[in-house]
Amino acid sequence: MLRFSILFVVLILGLFTIEVLKPVQDHVILPFTAVIAHISVFIIELFDDGVTSAGKQIWDNATGFGISIEPGCNGVEALIILFAAIFAFPASFKRKLIGFFIGFVAIQGLNLVRIISLFYMGQWNMTWFEWFHLYLWQALIILDALVVWLIWLRTLPPREGPPRNDDPGAGNDDLATANS
């Protein structure tokens, strides 16, 4: 548990530090966020024409209302937390990659729901938009990362090791031999 805790903190600090570096923002985070905006518009256009994206911004051509997907709203922070939790935990590299890939899809899938719902909520009522944006959706995205990690933990095979002292079956052979 100590190894996991130390490695988790080191990964979190390292990845969050790397994330805020300007070259990483310019060449990784902003292009990634633009892809999220484009996918959001693609989904919106399945049932609502007249929506456009440019870079990290999405707007309705008819009303002029728009949103900008800023850092903290692109799911990257939740992905960093999930990555650190999965890769700090003792498991095979293959299981870690599979777990992170599934978590990536789950977090970004929910994030697309978040972005699209906020896009429409902002056109309807800005008070509700702000509340959902700042409180509800932030918590749900982080909770998604936690749930994915907990489900991933449940899929891992049990670790092999010596019997623990609290195991009721441990040590009974010694007792039986002593009574013979």
**In this structure, how many other beta carbons lie within 10 angstroms of the beta carbon of residue 78?**
26
DSSP for 99-140, written as a single string: HHHHHHHHHHHHHHHHHHHHHHHHHH-HHHHHHIIIIIHHHH
Question: Contact 116/44 with Cβ under 8 angstroms?
Answer: yes
DSSP for 47-66, written as a single string: T--SEEEETTEEEETTT--E
Q: How many domains does the chain have?
A: 1
Q: Give a yes or no: residue 177 inside a domain.
A: no
Over residues 43-54, the pLDDT tens digits come to 999 988 888 888
Give the structural domain span for 85: 2-156
Q: Give a yes or no: residue 7 inside a domain.
A: yes
Q: Give a yes or no: residue 129 inside a domain.
A: yes
**161 band by pLDDT with thresholds 50, 70 and 90:** low
pTM score, whole prediction: 0.82
Q: Give a yes or no: residue 90 inside a domain.
A: yes
Question: Contact 57/67 with Cβ under 8 angstroms?
Answer: yes
pLDDT attached to residue 96: 95
Over residues 77-132, the pLDDT tens digits come to 999 999 999 999 999 999 999 999 999 999 999 999 999 999 999 889 888 888 88
**In this structure, how many other beta carbons lie within 10 angstroms of the beta carbon of residue 96?**
18
